[in-house]
Structure formats: structure tokens, C-alpha cells
Structure 1
Amino acid sequence: MKNPLFGAECNFSVSNAGSAKAIELGDLPTWKLEDLYPSATSDAFKADMAKAEKDSLAFEAKWKGKLSDAATKKGADGIGQALKEYEALDDIVGRLGSFAGLTYFSDTSSPANGKLYGDVQAKITDFSGHLLFFALELNRIDDAVIDACMKNDPDAGHYRPWLVDLRKDKPYQLDDRLEQLFLEKSMTSAAAFNRLFDETMAELRFEVDGEMLSIEVTLNMLQDRDPEVRRKGAMALAKTFKDNLRIFTLITNTLAKDKDISDRWRGFDDIADSRHLANRVERDVVDALAAAVRDAYPRLSHRYYAMKAKWLGMDQMEFWDRNAPLPETSNTVISWTEAKDTVLSAYCNFAPEMAAIAKRFFDEEWIDAPVRPGKAPGAFAHPTVPSAHPYVLVNYLGKPRDVMTLAHELGHGVHQVLAGGQGALMCQTPLTLAETASVFGEMLTFRALLDKTRDKRERKAMLAQKVEDMINTVVRQIAFYEFERKVHTARKEGELTAEQIGELWLSVQAESLGPAIRISEGYETYWTYIPHFIHSPFYVYAYAFGDCLVNSLYAVYQKADQGFQDKYFELLKAGGTKHHSELLKPFGLDATDPSFWSKGLSMIEGLIDELEALDKG
């Protein structure tokens, strides 16, 4: 198919993975934060800081105590105008926060970056204090008055999804002074311990054969072909985690207690209800997902790891063998250029528009790829604000999984670009659906590579890697969710020791991994490095939600004659304006249907069946 957006065929020039040119990683890009601001000392940055402060004070003076009256008016004096001004402030404050945050995550070990991040967060908290009244006061207006306002004032009507969504928070709102206290104290409570975690993790070093390594490099050893290298990496991780257990235990206890206090004051019944509310998903839907995955452990992870142990010539794998490559797996390092072309080709074959957006991340320097000291570990896509553009962070080491991570984060990036059209207040997608485009991007990339593979051994290695990634996304994340539930429940009864937390960790890991993996000494400390437990409690089920959803969505795509891409782009463009039930309805999918999750899990089971058939054949 001709691709007018690229002016070329959709099939990018993907080089042979076995070629000599693919041995080196190549030039890895760093992101260009100048698109936000030239620097923290630039006139533009200083001007926006001053403008945010001035405008937030002016907004408070203009609208506080007057929204009930404004709800009966239109035009310059109406709620619609207030919402426009509020959204403009949200965009500028978000731009400032994004610049400080991305600068910080570029090198969390830099004192200057840490100071910038802390200072900007403090100023944003001050600005937010002047804007806090807005949502609280809106929710005190009678629903019938707001409904009439949205009907009679076109400007207010534009923000209907945001206003309707806001009402869901009404039962959990506190009075204005308490909300102000919660906001201001956040800088010295949760936010402070989040920063402590990030800076501690960035500073950790892991000794392997006399060399001090960062966490990304050491974790990467767990995917090495040599079992002794994997063992050394695992032991180095365990030792450093153990040496720092005291601080991670303090952080975990403090944040769990902080959340418990907030939940009690706000009146949440269940420890995860605040996350469900933020995700705009019902508790029984998440409970059904978790139950379906737990019931599937024997058919998925237990069965697969038993097969893998046999392939590796082991009766039982050690915990550090979980992500070991199969003997059939190519040992070639995948260059950055090849990874880029692989992902863009897969995206383009699905929809040229999707590849065109993803290509901008490479062409316009929106990606930070190299591993370096102090850089935040892992990977993420940060949306910034609609007036700017998203950024992607990866730690690229040339592994096949790194290519899939790139496909995943670019999926987020494409989603964020498309949803940006909804504006600053309505572009944010709930976490449960925020994983849709990322996991779908991974699936497109995997299927494109698998379709080109004719060699039986190579196909087996690719299928195995995909199954492992899906198990990591579904089984492992639900196990994480169960671990968080146990930790937060136990914390209600008193402070937890590192040993108690480790025991809870091992209990869920043993249940999810199954008997084919030996959980030996050292693994009890591995809960310490998972950032989601710190930054976003109970976030992790969103990955399983997204993977199962995409499995069902991809099955629809495979059977669709035409029109799927258009419906898919409408889903992404919706941002936070629609509930998951509305977004999935055009595809004939319903997450409240108990069989929905079984359908998603059956795709993973089907891939394991194919692997088993290949092994017997």
C-alpha cells in the first residue's frame, strides 16, 4: 500500500537481524526538552512561572464563591468561560511540571535537577492551592442546575464529559480547608517519599565481578544466555536490595499509612477503591479480572514455565531463569535503527497515520534511549500537555524485549498525541484504557515479525518470548496487585517489618509462578525495586486489563473486513471523554461480561498450545 504520509511503501527497510551491521546499538537519541523550554533559567520558563502564579491568583479572585451564580449565565460570565480559563491554567502548569520532571528523570543523581524538581513541585502546589476551590465549589452546585447549564451554555456543554466525571468524586470530597491541608501536606508526605525512592534507586550500585553496575544493566543480566551470568546478576540485586531494606521498608510503610489516612477521611470502603475511581472502572470489573487471571495461573504461567524448564534442561528453574532466552533465541544485538524500522513498519502496515505520528518521535527528538548513570530506570511515555507533545523514555540495550518496549511506549505516545485534541482537561485516558494503544502496538510488532518468520526454531523462540511478555503483563501484574492488597491490608494493623513484607511477596510469587520455579534465598527482597508500588498504588492491574482487552480487540481486528482502523482511532482520540463501556461497544466488546476476560486469556493459552505443538513436531 502506498503511504502518502511517508511518500514511500509501508514496508520499512528492516535489516537482517543476523547481519554484521546490527551488532552495535548505533547512535541512541536523547530527547530535546527545549521544545518545552530552552532551560530552567530561560526567559520563557521564568515568564511562564510568573504567569502561572499571576493567573491562578486572578482566577481565584474572579470566580471563587461565584460559581453558583455563574451556572445560570452564559458567555463571559458563565461556567463555560471559567472552564476555559481553568483549562488554560492547567496547560501552562502542566508544561512547567513536565519540564521539571523530565529534566529530573534525565539524571536523578544531579542535585541541580533535584532542586529544580522540588522547587517547581512546591510552586505548582502553591498554584493549585488557589485553584482547589474550583472543583469543590462546582460539586456543591445542584446537579439539575449544572445539567441546565451544560444544555444552555455551549461553552459549558463542551466540557460535559469532564463535569459529569467530576461528580463521581463528590461523595469523597472533604470541606475546603481539609482539602487545602491535604494538598499542601502532599509535598512533605507522599511526594517526598516518592522522590526519596527515586533518588535512592538511582544511586544504588550492584557489584558483579568487582564492577559496580546500575540497576538497568544488572536487571538486563537476568536475560543473559549464560546461567552463571544470570545467577551473578540475581545475587548482586538481592545483596544490594537487602543492604537497603531499611529505607525501602520505611518508604513502603509510610506510603501505605499515608494512603490509609486519606482513604479513611474520604470514606473509601476498599483499599483500592480510590484507584478504581481514578480509573473510572467498577470494583466488580477489576475483581472479575483478578479472579479470572488467578484461576488461569495453572493453564498459563505454571504450564509454560514447566515447558521452559524442560527446554532449558532443568527439572526446576531458579527464579533468575524466568526470563532466560531459549537455546533457539538469536544472540544478536538489535541496533537502534533496526528497532526503529521494525516498529514503524508494523505500525504502518496497520495504519499509515499511526506510523506517521510514531515517526515524529524519532525525527523530532522526542525519545531518550541510552542507559546512563542517574537516568530513571525502566520506560515510560509522558504526555506533557496538549500545547506541546509527549516524550518517551526507554533504556535501550538491544534485546528483543527492548524492541517490544519501544513499540509499547510509542503506542502510548501515539495515543497521547491523538487524545491531545480533547484539550488539557479531557485528554487524560483512565489507566485501564491508557494501556490499550501500547499493548496493541506491541501486538502489531510481534505479529509482523512472526508472519515473516519461516524457520521453526526462530518461530519457537519468538512465540516463547511473546508468551513470557504476556505472562509478565497479565499474571505478574495481577500477582503484584494481590501483593499490594496484602501489604495495605496488613499495614492497617501496624507497621510491617521487612521480613513480613518479604513473606507476603513470596506468597503471591509462589502462587503465580508455580512449582516449575524454585524461589530461593534472595528473592524475598525483590519487591523493593517496583516503582509502581510507590508512585501509583494499585496501578498494576491496568496492565492486565489492557493486555486482556487488546487480546480481545486484536481478535476482532483479525476478523474485521474494513473499518476497524477508523473505529480504533476514534477510541484513541476520545481521551477521557468516554467510559470504557462506550469505547468498547463499537467493537462488540463488554468488560462487564464475565466471559470477556476468559476470551482475552484464551489467546495466551492458544500461543502456549502452538508452542507445545511446535515442540512435539
Structure 2
Amino acid sequence: MTASTHPVRRPVTPRATASETGADTGFGPLPDWDLTDLYSAPDAPEIARDLDRVEKACADFAATYEGRLASLDTPAMLACVHAYEEIERIAGRLMAFAGLRYYQNTTDSERAQFVQNLQEKVTDFTAPLVFFTLEMNRIPDADFARVVDADPALARYKPVFDRMRAMKPYQLSDELEKFLHDQSAIGAAAWNKLFDETIAGLTFSPEGEELSLEATLNLLTEQDRGRREAAARELARVFGANIRLFSRVHNTLAKDKEIEDRWRKMPTPQTARHLANHVEPEVVEALRDAVVAAYPRLSHRYYDLKRKWLGLDTLAVWDRNAPLPMEETRVIDWAEARQTVLDAYAGFDPEMARLAEPFFDKGWIDAGVKPGKAPGAFAHPTVTDVHPYVMLNYLGKPRDVMTLAHELGHGVHQVLAAGQGELLSQTPLTLAETASVFGEMLTFRKLLDAAETPDQRKVLLAGKVEDMINTVVRQIAFYDFECKLHDARRGGELTPDDINALWMSVQAESLGPAFDFMDGYETFWAYVPHFVHSPFYVYAYAFGDGLVNALYAVYEDGDADFQAKYFDMLKAGGSKHHKELLAPFGLDATDPAFWDKGLGMISGFIDELEAMERA
């Protein structure tokens, strides 16, 4: 069973926002989720009904098909897949509702209890389905192909089967697979929950007033350097005070992964992620190597420019996301943010804006920061017969507008892919960031075209470069940190100092010589949720940014059919490999030069900023 409680998330960087209520906060009333399209309430009779349906459907599925998959003809195999997909849909609806309620307030014990109890029930009920993948993978390739290829209605599920059968060399015995399924709700999932609840419960007092993590991170984007420094030092103090707990979470999860990987004979800690993403390891390594080689001409060069703009000999970590001195310090109200993004989407294609509008009007966005609410932002696809939900933490900063554009891109993608059905709509992470980053690029380009002065253009270009560095350079540095962490953990328990040292080894390399790192920054790995929830997820952001930069270059070149091709790509969901999806645009991510093309766009923006300095 693959119903997920973890949505597609943004990288949690200091672009996060903060207010303490979803009411009118000075930038207009902010929307809250209306979850009634899933269920009306946690005690709704439909929840008990659907739990009963899942339990019965799983038992019936096992009684009908266990031990018989290899003997099924094509019509029977198609019926089997449809039955499995229906179980995914019902269980996915239950877990989406519980998960979204939980993320609204992770410190609410009732919500935490509700999601845990539901997860345990769904895990128990779906235990009889473990045989499905195991038996499917034992069918000889020739016999499997003969059954699947005989009917286009079944053959359309081939990408699902391909991803499933890619796990064949790493499959364990039936008993061990059932054991892993049964213990999942109280294994890694429990450590994930401990991390979420701890992060949501942290409080910071950089200026005397008690603030959440979001509010404190937001101070790192203030004009006043003293406020930024106070926030950074308070973050370091609180992370340091909790570092043993965060170290325990990471040690336990890394060891848990190492044990499972060892039993499955996975060649590397990254293998499972690459298989899930349906991406070749050499493609990821080509991306990683291209980005690391580009550090000097991207982040190192840009931050040296920023050092000069801020009039500093060296940058401190609290200067990384500082606004430029000439940047306007105005708050962007929600209505303006909405119009900015919708206009940018409509400028690309009116259909894109039409698909995004219901998110604003129908309770599909939760925008305000409230006590206990999960940090960062994400888009959750829920299930294909409902709709996605977007979570933000909106304060009215320009970067919050770009986050809105990003998450709405996810939402539009998920709406379009829903037509593929429950199993084929799930886009691999490497392609899941395509529409979100493209939505950001459309919004940025619209704002850049509207710039009236050189200073306005400079601020917009600098902001975009910083976002791209956060999405590409910073995320590849995160990926290298994870690789080092999991490799080191295989040699034994890591102390907090050990993990801190690994973090600093990638930070200095990626950010460059313009920076001086304060004492305490070595603990900033502690709050990044991707390391806990989705090991090695982070390269997907760099993959998506590079892919979109290459795509946008094709769009700018005036491909007359670009919009139609683009919508077809989003509608495909997870039904095609990245090579097949990019072929209509003349792009190939397996070509090492592909990544240099994407990185060249970032370098070109820095060239323009340098030219503005010389003018």
C-alpha cells in the first residue's frame, strides 16, 4: 500500500513567513482550508464507513488474488489492478484528511492521536496486500509482458509495473516484507512525528517577544542587520539546546534505513530514492557534479556581489537572504499576490489561470501562520476524485508571492495529472517540481518586464538569483550532506559534533569565501524536514530547476506548440519516463550538457547584475 501522508514540500529555507493568526494580518484576510470535500469532520460517519470499506476490500482482494497472480489472464489482471487502485483511492482519502488536519496544528494532541490511530488502522487493514508486489515481481518477464501487452487498458499501467519490478532485485521474503509493513506505523513514521511536533513546539525570543520558528526565520529577511543577527543567534541557541534530540532522530532514522538497505542489498543509500523517482543514478550524479563544478561561477560570484552591495568585508550567515539596500520594504497584500500570480499564469495561457483560480475561491489554500502549524509550504494532491490542497505561511514578502506561484504550479500539475487515475497520477519527484518552478519563472518574468527603474530590475534579478541558488546550489549541498551523513552512520553512532562537522563541510564549499560562519551555525541542519521525512529528496529541486531553465529557453525561442506540449507533459503525471516527456521539446536529461544549459541561465542573470555594476 502506498497511500502517503507526506505531501510535496518546498525546501524549508529562510523564505518562510510568519503571522500568528489566519485572520486579517495587515495584508488582508487569509484563506483557511475547507477540508469538507474530503470529510466533514473527524467523527463523520463516512470515515467509519470508508475504514470498513478498506478493511473488507483488502480482505476480499487477498482472498481473490493471493497465490493466483501468475495464472491470471489479461482481463482478470486488469480487474485486479483496478481493485488495487480503488483501495489506494479510499485509503488515500482517509490519510489525506488526517494528515492535512494534523499539519494545521501539529501540537494538538487530538489531531496527533487521530492521524496516528488512522495510520495504524490503515496499516493493519492493508497488511494482506503485501503479497501483491511480491507475487507480481515473481512472474517471469516474458509471461508478464504477454499478459500486460494484450490490452491497451492494462498496458497503460506499464510505468507502474516498471517501477514495481525495478525493486525485484531488492525484494525480501514474504514474511519479512509483511513485518516491515506492520511495523512501519511505529518505526520511521513515529520518529517523523516526533520531529514534526518538536519543531512546531519550539519557541524563540530574539527580541524579547516569544516567536515561532517561522516568525524567527522571517527576521532573517529584514532590512535591519541587527535584527537579522539577533534572529540567527537565537535560532542557533534553541537548535543547540535541542541538538541531542535532533541528533537522536537522525541517527535512528539513518540506522533504520541502513538496516533495511542492507537486508535488501541496496548498493547505495540513494538507490531507493532513485528507483522511486524512476531516474538513473548517473543522471543524478551528472546533475550533482555539474552544480558543484558551477559553485564558483554561481554562488561564490553572486555572494561576492552581494557583499559589495551591503558594504561589508565579509557576509555573515544572517546576510545570506538579506534584502538589498535599495529594496522597497512594503508588504504585499493577499489580493495583490493573488492577482500577480494569476496574471502571470494567464499571460502564459488563460487555461493555466483558470485551473489555479479555484484554489483561492474554494478553500483549497491555508495561508496564515497559526500556533502549531507546520512550517514551510507544500501542495498535497490528496486523491484524484477530490483536488489538491496548498499550505503556505504568508507574511506579504516578495518571496512569499514566489512561494505562492510555486505551490500553485504544483496544484495545477496535480489537477491535470488526476485524469491518469490513482496509480499513474503520482509524478516522480524529479518531475514533480517542473510545474512549480515553471510557475515561479512565469511570475518572475512578468514582474521583471514591469520593472520601471534599474534599481527595481536589479532587486528582482538579485531575488531570482538567490531563489535559484537556494533551489539548486543549496539543495545539492543538502544532498551532499545527506550522502556524507548516511555514509558516516554506517560506521557507527554519530555525535552531534560529528553531524555538525558534516554540515559545515558542505556549507563552506557551496556558499564560498564571501562568508564568515558564526558559532552555532553548525546546528542549522536540525530544522530541515526533508532529511527526516524523505531522505535524498532534495536533489529533486535542483533537477526541477535545471529542467525548467532548459524548458523556458525552448519557450523563449518561440516554439509555436509549446503550451500544448507543456500541458500534455503535466497531464501525463507519472505515466511516462522523463526521457519520453522531454523528447517533444528536444531535451534530454541524460545528456551531461543538459545541466550546463540550465545552469547557464543562472550565470546569465549574474552576468547582467555584474554589467549593471559596471554601467
Give the equivalent residue in structure 2 for 1:199.
Answer: 197
TM-superposition CA deviations, 1:430-488 (whole Å, max 9, x none): 10010000000000000011011121111100100000000000000000000001111
Distance in 2 (CA, whole Å) between partners of 1:162 and 1:319 is: 44
Is 2:317–2:518's contact at 8 Å kept on the other side of the alignment? yes
Which of the numbers 253, 268, 271 marks the counterpart of 1:270? 268
Structure 2 residue 570 is matched with structure 1 residue 572? yes
Q: Is the contact made by 1:298 and 1:514 (CA closer than 8 Å) also made in structure 2?
A: yes
Structure 1 spans left out of the alignment, 5+ residues: 1-21
2:50 to 48, 51, 54: 48
Q: How big is the shift at 1:74? A: 4.1
- 2:502 corresponds to 1:504: yes
Equivalent residue number for residue 531 of structure 2: 533
- 1:34 equivalent in structure 2: 36
Tell me whether 440-449 or 203-212 shows the greater mean CA deviation.
203-212
Residues 23 and 312 from structure 1, CA distance in 2 versus in 1: closer, same or farther, beyond 3 angstroms? Answer: farther
Aligned partners of 2:32 and 2:363 also within 8 Å = yes
Indicate the SS of the match to 1:392.
strand
Show the counterpart of 1:518: 516
Cα deviation for residue 165 of structure 1 reads 2.6
Q: Answer yes or no: is the 8 Å Cα contact 1:81–1:155 preserved in 2.
A: no
Task: Say whether residues 1:135 and 2:137 are aligned partners.
Answer: no
Q: CA RMSD in A?
A: 1.1
Q: Distance in 2 between matches of 1:386 and 1:291?
A: 37
2: distance between equivalents of 1:315 and 1:154?
Answer: 65
The equivalent of 2:456 in structure 1 is 458
- Asked if the contact 1:23–1:335 (Cα under 8 Å) also holds between the matched residues in 2, the reply is no
Q: How far 1:577 sits from its partner (Å)? A: 0.8
Equivalents in 1 of 2:337, 2:101: separation in Å? Answer: 25
SS in 1 for 2:491: coil
Partners of 2:355 and 2:80 lie apart in 1 by 33
Over residues 557-599 of structure 1, what are the superposed CA-to-partner deviations in whole Å (9 max), with x where a residue is unaligned?
A: 0002411000001111111111100001110111111111111
User: 2:597 and 2:157 mapped to 1: Cα distance?
Assistant: 35
Q: Secondary structure at the match of 2:298?
A: helix
Q: Check conservation: 1:80, 1:157, Cα contact below 8 A.
A: no
1:482 is aligned to 2:442: no
Match for residue 357 of structure 1 among 338, 355, 358: 355
| Contact 2:51–2:122, Cα closer than 8 Å, also in 1 | no
Q: State the 1:66 CA deviation.
A: 1.2
* Amino acid of the structure 1 residue aligned with 2:470: N
SS in 1 for 2:493: coil
Shift of 1:124: 1.5
Q: Aligned partners of 1:292 and 1:160: how far apart in 2?
A: 32
Which residue does the alignment assign to 2:400?
A: 402
Would you say the 8 A contact 1:40–1:46 is kept in 2?
A: no
- 3-state SS, counterpart of residue 219 of structure 2: helix
* 1:207 counterpart SS class: coil
The corresponding residue for 1:17 is: none
Runs of at least 4 residues off by over 6 Å: none
CA contact (8 A) 1:470 1:547 kept: yes
Unaligned runs of at least 5 residues, structure 2: 1-23
Separation (CA, whole Å) in 1 of partners of 2:43 and 2:195: 27
Q: Distance in 2 between matches of 1:130 and 1:400?
A: 49
Q: How does 1:572-591 map to 2 (within 5 A)?
A: 572-591=570-589
Partner Cα separation in structure 2 for residue 447 and residue 151 of structure 1:
45
The separation in 2 between residues aligned to 1:487 and 1:475, in whole angstroms, is: 18
State the distance in 2 between where 1:609 and 1:144 align: 55
* 3-state SS of 2:279 partner: coil
Alignment partner, residue 62 of structure 2:
60
Q: Is the 8 A contact 2:163 2:275 kept in 1?
A: no
Q: Distance in 1 between matches of 2:415 and 2:227?
A: 41
Matched, 1:69 2:71: yes
Q: Secondary structure at the match of 2:210?
A: strand
Structure 2 residue aligned with 1:6: none
- In the alignment, what sits opposite 1:25? 27
Map of 2:424 onto structure 1: 426
In structure 2, the CA distance between the partners of 1:420 and 1:326, relative to structure 1 (3 Å rule), is same
Question: Which residue of the partner structure matches residue 102 of structure 2?
Answer: 104
CA displacement at 1:157 relative to structure 2: 2.5
Letter in 2 for 1:414: V
Any conservation in 2 of the 1:24–1:334 contact (CA below 8 Å)? no
Distance 2:74 2:501 in 1: 60
Match of 1:182 in 2: 180
Shift in Å at residue 141 of structure 1? 1.0
- Output aligned runs, 1:36-435, within 5 Å: 36-70=38-72, 73-75=73-75, 78-435=76-433
For the 8 Å contact 2:74–2:148, the answer to whether it is kept is no
2: CA distance, partners of 1:345 / 1:81 = 44
Give distance in 2, aligned partners of 1:480 and 1:164. 29
* Matching residue's letter, 2:190: A
Q: Which amino acid aligns with 2:407?
A: E
CA contact (8 A) 1:109 1:203 kept: yes
| Structure 1 equivalent of residue 10 of structure 2 | none
Q: What secondary structure, in the 3-state scheme, does the structure 1 residue paired with 2:205 have? A: strand
Partner Cα distance (1:167, 1:496) in 2: 35
Report if the CA contact (8 A) 1:23-1:334 is conserved.
no
Letter in 1 for 2:321: N
- Partners of 1:516 and 1:239 in 2: CA distance: 24
Kindly indicate whether the alpha-carbon contact (under 8 Å) linking 1:371 and 1:396 is maintained by their aligned counterparts in 2.
yes
**Aligned-pair CA distance for 1:155:** 4.0
Distance 2:163 2:480 in 1: 28
AA in 2 matched with 1:215: L
Deviation for aligned residue 1:194: 0.2
Equivalent of 1:468 in 466, 469, 472: 466
* Counterpart AA for 1:429: T
TM-score, normalised to structure 1's length? 0.95
Give the structure 1 partner of residue 7 of structure 2: none
Q: Which has the higher contact order (CA 8 A, sep 6+)?
A: 2
Shift of 1:23: 9.7
CA distance in 1, matches of 2:411, 2:131: 32
* Correspondence for 2:442: 444
